[in-house]
Amino acid sequence: MSQRRKLTLEKSMNAPYSGGCQCGQIRYEIQAEPLTLYVCHCNECQKQSSSAFGMSMTVSRDAVTLTKGQPKQWKRVSDKGREVSCWFCSNCGTRLFHNPARNNKITNIKPGTLDDTSWLKPAGNLWTRSAQQWLAHDKDMLNYEAQPDDFSQLIERFQPK
Which residues form the interface with Zn ion (CB under 5 A)? Answer: 21, 23, 25, 40, 42, 45, 89, 91-92
For the chain, first and last CA: distance in Å?
A: 20
For 116-127, give one letter per residue: b (16+ CB within 10 A) or e.
eeeeeebbbbbb
> To the nearest whole angstrom, how small is the minimum distance from the Cβ of residue 62 to Zn ion?
24
Q: Which is nearer to Zn ion, 85 or 91 (CB)?
A: 91
Apex CA 41: angle with CA 19 and CA 16, to 5°? 20
Q: Which is nearer to Zn ion, 37 or 42 (CB)?
A: 42
Give the C-alpha separation, 55 to 158, whole Å. Answer: 14
> To the nearest whole angstrom, how small is the minimum distance from the Cβ of residue 122 to Zn ion?
13
> To the nearest whole angstrom, how small is the minimum distance from the Cβ of residue 86 to Zn ion?
11
Q: Which is nearer to Zn ion, 7 or 135 (CB)?
A: 135
